[in-house]
Amino acid sequence: MVENRPMTTFISHSVLIIGVALIVFPIWIMLVASSHDALRLTQVPLPLLPGDQFWENIKLLFSSKTFGAPIHLSLLNSLAMAMMISLGKISISVISAFAIVYFKFRFRMFFFWMIFVTLMLPVEVRILPTYEVVASLGMLDSYLGLSVPLIASATATFMFRQTFLTISDELMEASRIDGASPMRFFFDVVIPMSRTNIAALFVILFIYGWNQYLWPLLITTDPDMYTVVMSIKQMLESGESEPMWHMIMLTALFAMLPPVLVVVFMQKIFVKGLTDSEK
């Protein structure tokens, strides 16, 4: 349907422009705020154009310990948690989907539904018992404690199941005749053929892991284990003093960078995977 009415074009463009502005404006404010000094941000009107304090602020942020954990440490914590969650989720769900699709074992459907049921149990719902378990395993204030309870993923398992169902049985049989064991088939055929799905899922899960807030808040008490998302919140509540808006905005900027980088970098792999047209 190709319509060429100026009014429609005008309206649809306005909607799009407003939408973009809604998203871009806060980011712009963040950039602007992170380039002024603390004093300027307490005066009205708030600046709408970037200042000249950007590098100074970066130096200050990375050198000070006044905001809980040093920023590079909390960035590292976030990165470790996000990577462990996304890679953990992918490896576990890819292998369980493989089991469900390619093996006929007793209670196969039972396990399938068990996985399904966990969809209804995100960490927020089971937070107290999970805390109890993690605490008694001595995993408080550790990377394992941060990531393991979030790793099981029904969604990813289902997604891989769907992908595997599109791989023809003949391929499995051909590889059996070629002498491949099930695990060889898994690594030599199934995984390479699911590359693009894995990449897509990695992006989604990385961002999911990176943005975790409630769970890290609950199980970390040592400031050295704080994630960057938590740090922002901590900085907002830093006692009696005024919030340091320039530092907070700069931290937020750094907190946004890794997900952006992941999306930009993985997008290339998507497109490559899509244009290669393998299936």
Q: Which residues make up the interface to other proteins (CB under 8 A)?
A: 168, 170-171, 173-180, 184, 188-189, 192-193, 195, 276-279
DSSP 106: T
List, in sequence order, the alpha helices (H) in the chain. Answer: 6-33, 54-63, 71-102, 108-117, 127-136, 143-151, 154-166, 169-177, 182-185, 191-193, 195-210, 214-219, 228-236, 245-276
The residue (of 121 and 171) whose beta carbon lies closer to other proteins is: 171
- Whichever of 176 and 268 has its CB closer to other proteins, that residue is 176
Does the bond joining 45 to the residue before it have cis omega, within 30 degrees of 0? yes
Say which amino acid occupies 6: P
Name the minimum Å distance from CB 275 to other proteins: 11
- 261: its two tokens: 């980088």
Smallest CA-to-CA distance from 164 within 130, 201, 191, 188 is with 191
Minimum Å gap between C-beta 192 and other proteins is 4
- In the complex with other proteins, the residue whose CB is nearer, 182 or 223, is 182
* C-beta of 170 vs 240, nearer to other proteins: 170
Instruction: Find out whether 203 and 86 touch, Cβ atoms under 8 Å.
Output: no
CB of residue 169 to other proteins, shortest distance in Å = 9
For the CB of residue 167, give the shortest distance to other proteins in the complex, in Å.
9
Write down the least CB distance from residue 235 to other proteins, Å: 47
Dist CA 154 CA 51 (whole Å): 47
Q: Closest distance between other proteins and the C-beta of residue 181, in Å?
A: 9
Instruction: Quote the Cα angle for 85-181-109, to 5°.
Output: 60
Residue closer to other proteins by CB (options 153, 175) is 175
d(CA 40, CA 47): 8
Which CB, 171 or 271, lies closer to other proteins? 171
